[in-house]
Structure 1
Amino acid sequence: MAAPACHMPFHSQNSAPTLVTSSNGVPELARFFTDVEYLFEDCQINADTNKKRHILRYLELQDSRLWELLPTFAAGTYAAWKNKVRALYPGTSKECRYSVADLHVLVGDWNMRVISNIVQLGEFHRAFLNISQFLMSHNRLPENERDRAFQMAFTSDQWDKIHHQLVIADINHHPDDPWPMPQILKAAEYILHGTAGPATGSGSSSIGASGCTRAAVGQGRGHPGLVDHRFMNIDTMEQVKCIVDSGFQIVAMSEEVCHELKIKYDPSVILNMQSANGCLNPSLGLAQNVPCTIGDLTLYLQIHVFRNPAYDILLGRPFDVLTSSNVKTYPDGNTVVTITDPNSGDILAIPTFTCGEH
């Protein structure tokens, strides 16, 4: 029995080829033509005229009319017409898929977001490979520059830990040579193994002259410190309770506080934080350049917003690095947090208090 005849799908069918637009606004022409030409072969559509007519059926009305107006549609081969179509969409050529600037944007974005768990490391690695392998295959990115770019996605604190692992594995590595990307990835996987997201210990204590709180020191965490933290939003100023924990790799805020202070955030920047029980908690977005005033010191922080966390504001490693914070506990049990203005060098000392006193 002869095989049933193949028919090109209707425009409304789910199996019909579609000209989609990528996240950067460029139509995916190459993929569209590949899908259509696969159907041409399967359905034995050989005549150039029929190929062009079928393609118009799968386009939006505006594109269909434009492509049909090209002189090569009525008088020209299918290949010639396709080349004229491509000329209508600069940047859609396979040769122009990615640029070195795209790689730098990706690296800078992840450095700002902070790669804080294994899931995010894998997400970044896949995106990095997608761009870097394309550039290297077109001789636009040397391997050593690729390795240096991969390193730049990590914060300075993370890189110190990664570098420590790398040196242990290869003590003879020349300091002027970049570390190979596969080795960096392996070391990063090691330091992020078992990484937990926002979580508080079983107890808590509070610090500051004005009632800020902090988590008690947890096993495996960096030192916590407490600061009197004020966020300014246009003409209003609110005082918010804070947790300072250098073991946390970002600065975070609760959705409730964010809405109370009327702080805007970008919902397209999402972090999937892994909690202590292994669950992934996605953030709601990123509030950029939020003015934070502590005494006479004003800082501008990038703050990730989370729903229903166990804190109002959590000041992680970026805050410690920016302010060179230092926590000192005296024999009488009192604790003072010292921070430094990164611009003027002025030092601000903030005393702590026991939880429940304020």
Structure 2
Amino acid sequence: MRVNQLTISNLRNLKNPTLSFSPQLNIIYGPNAAGKSSLLEALYILGNGRSFRTSKHNKVINDDNQDITVFAKLESSGASHKLGFNRKRNGETAIKLNGEIVKRLSTLAKLSPVQILSPEQYDLLIKGPGARRKQLDWGVFHVEHSILSTWQKCHKILLQRNQLLKRKAPYSDVSVWDKQLVNLSQQVTQLRQAYCDKINPLFSQFAKAFIQQADCHLELYPGWSDKDDIGLAELYKSQFEKDKQLGFTQSSIHKADLKFLLARNKKAGDYLSRGQQKLLITAFKLAQLKAMQEYGQQSPLFLMDDIGAELDANHQTQLLDLLAQQPVNQQIFITCVHLAPLKPLIEQYDQVKMFHVEHGQVEEVSSNAMVI
């Protein structure tokens, strides 16, 4: 996956730039609050249909306008595409791929996958399971696309089951849905577990490099506890009365969690310092990037926002060393205030583009003419 050209209209304070990028390394620098993160935000929207900085799409739209548009010329899976995304203040969304209307956001994810490392991501260990589950499923989807349709079928059946529970329906009515729900839940869980098995060695390797924790590992909680090994079908039956009382299904793939564990299965979020947690999440993001390169046979855009503000000089150097070892087809975007720390990385790349951002104005700067 590679974005060759990007046009942004009405996004925050950006002055509607049209930019051409390097297929390898792109550095975006400038003072704080200049609009650097907004440029990454546009790239993220291109692959997700939403911002990584806020769940309120109105905040992304410039105050003087009624919609945003992000348009890109990109290459994905060996083919060239034109992709456009538009969202209005009322939430109405329009997506066009090569001039044809696209109705599903999943098309964006398949065509232009994006991995991001930003300040908003560093709370992953201490947030609720929803954020970790979302990041897990992002990784699974980009290795095995079939999880999406299976997950959607499972979700529909779960909604139907919950509606019956709220109506206090008898078990004979609810059990009709349980067989399908069990089968689909097991399929989703198998795909999630297979992904965890793939990423765990990579995660442990990166975690050891960053925080000298050789025994860091990931563990999947499927969404239910079956200590007596009775199986999910029997679990639904035994929990039916409590489910009916609560009005929802207690044991479900929608309660799954990705646990970050240290030695003796200690939760990493309970034992690591704030700085160590940031490094562990960095290790996890790099492991996901590596897993997609190896197993998904595609490289997502790798966005790193405000790298200098979140990592100390030593770990920043470690990260930059790892980035210098990325495959030649990996496209990277980094925002920073100061260029000097990135000089060793820049020198490792043949194709580098630099962009200076100030007051929302984005200007490409010749790397040969730069005094770093």
> Which TM bucket (shorter chain)?
under 0.3
TM-score (norm 2): 0.25
TM-score (norm 1): 0.25
Higher relative contact order (CA 8 A, sep 6+): 2
